[in-house]
Structure 1
């Protein structure tokens, strides 16, 4: 089995258009979200931009694709169906892993399966099933891609209007600590996927992970080789110190931005070349995205991050 894989990271695609909004779906939060979509977001999150990004990404034939949430906008049944179709075009569930974002778990519709429509993209593989107790909650789950263990968290919770915060909760945090320990014993490169920025002070309180301090403590005590997130619609990289080194934390901008909005860059994705080494991992990150005219994809950045 090779000790090197290429992982593509895409996030916050906010698939358009918004369809299927009726009286049954209306509440205060969804109504305000729909107004915001009509006023601004529908003009900047463009399928044409996302199609260019995905086509370029596929040319590089990554071994696996990670999508860190916000596939949709208002949590409407028709949106979930559109997102399912888009995921099928992106790749087989064996080759694509999804964690939900706050827009994916937006506001409850009684009796609607919601993100369960994407369940095949959000579950452990046969190897990962062995690491969690039978009948365990769906998150966190684990997939193995060559030398890499993808450890997948759900930070998306329902929130009041004007709030896009996230939370993991004590059970997920405890399970994460155990999975980090188990996968380290297996000698794997541990890559954590989460929608919200995982550390304190990376987003305003109304948009932040509420238990980021507790997550930081788990990472500080147990380590990881990489954490990937979305949510902020901007590229981001910092190194978080833990007991035996540092953990690169990388965020990616929205994959569907076709026009500049609030200083957010145009559509982008990351290609991460991850190599297991005797001392841990070597990770190279290449960022590619739309040129300023949004007409084609160009090289944005390349760096060795560990």
Structure 2
């Protein structure tokens, strides 16, 4: 593969306003979440900002768009309808892939279709592309020589907890997928909402089985891992068993109208991926709101594993 594959990475849009909040949806976790939204987050996460970033991303004519979760805020069925509209604005299901975030699977008390049902067309693998096939994780989507592997790390949690878990069944299936796709020569890109490595999030926000996931990735290999959740830009490196490195790239919120606490204004990744002479090269351009409120390039770098 000598041609360049352009991949957009968006996350944590937290689309408002909160829609479809009924008495039957109310529980303690949603009550606290709604108060936090009303007092703080609704001023930070502005739908028009997410729309502006999406328009900028589409102007670069990407080959595919990856969304790593948290389109919703309180996990309400009405929010999933809003999220579906935003996904449709990004492109048809075969051009856009999404994995759920902890705010999408916020609580087991739904009162309507889940995000896995509403967003199903954007989470079906290439080999199960029918309107009625159920969603299962990890899913595999192949686009040219790139294979996107979507994991679900989100589970209902108690109030004050935003952690996640992949689980042994997904981990075993991921190992098989990575091996098979690697042997077939695909450039493997893993999508997950929670940061996948130990120590990348505080205890209440962390992936419970991050160590097990890191072990699978290190043993079976991948070329890139994309995540959200922390609302920050981050780049970590996971050492593979063969001595190479896997870049683990986190992105900030796609809808933040301004910096909030340690979180920057809205950002997204414009990734250019190519294979030459048997090696994979990835260039990452960070685009988002600059100091004047325009969507512009913030940074651009090649993802190269640092020397020991």
Which residue is 1:85 aligned to? 85
Which residue is 2:126 aligned to? 125
User: 2: CA distance between counterparts of 1:77 and 1:228?
Assistant: 26
1:304 deviates by 0.7
Which residue is 2:245 aligned to? 246
Which residue is 1:173 aligned to? 171
| Correspondence list, 1:11-26, <5 A | 11-26=11-26
SS of 1:94's equivalent in the other structure is helix
User: 1: CA distance between counterparts of 2:85 and 2:109?
Assistant: 21
Q: In 2, are the aligned partners of 1:84 and 1:117 still within 8 Å (CA)? A: yes
Which residue is 1:9 aligned to? 9
User: 2: CA distance between counterparts of 1:278 and 1:33?
Assistant: 50
Which residue is 1:132 aligned to? none
1:111 deviates by 5.5
User: 2: CA distance between counterparts of 1:110 and 1:257?
Assistant: 27
Q: In 1, are the aligned partners of 2:75 and 2:110 still within 8 Å (CA)? A: no
Deviations 1:8-35 (A, max 9, x none): 0000000011122121110000000000
SS of 1:273's equivalent in the other structure is strand
Which residue is 1:55 aligned to? 55
Which residue is 1:147 aligned to? 145
User: 1: CA distance between counterparts of 2:113 and 2:92?
Assistant: 21
Q: In 2, are the aligned partners of 1:2 and 1:147 still within 8 Å (CA)? A: no
User: 2: CA distance between counterparts of 1:269 and 1:137?
Assistant: 26
Which residue is 2:208 aligned to? 210
Which residue is 1:279 aligned to? 278
Q: In 2, are the aligned partners of 1:14 and 1:71 still within 8 Å (CA)? A: yes
1:145 deviates by 1.3
Q: In 2, are the aligned partners of 1:147 and 1:276 still within 8 Å (CA)? A: no
Deviations 1:97-145 (A, max 9, x none): 000000000112356221110000011013x78xxxxx99700000011
User: 2: CA distance between counterparts of 1:181 and 1:19?
Assistant: 42
TM-score after normalising by structure 1:
0.94
Q: In 2, are the aligned partners of 1:43 and 1:259 still within 8 Å (CA)? A: no
User: 1: CA distance between counterparts of 2:239 and 2:72?
Assistant: 34
Deviations 1:51-86 (A, max 9, x none): 211111111010000000000100111111111111
Q: In 1, are the aligned partners of 2:237 and 2:245 still within 8 Å (CA)? A: yes
- Report the aligned-residue RMSD: 1.6
Which residue is 1:258 aligned to? 257
Q: In 2, are the aligned partners of 1:155 and 1:195 still within 8 Å (CA)? A: yes
1:293 deviates by 3.5
Q: In 2, are the aligned partners of 1:10 and 1:255 still within 8 Å (CA)? A: yes
Which residue is 2:186 aligned to? 188
1:95 deviates by 0.4
User: 2: CA distance between counterparts of 1:176 and 1:241?
Assistant: 18
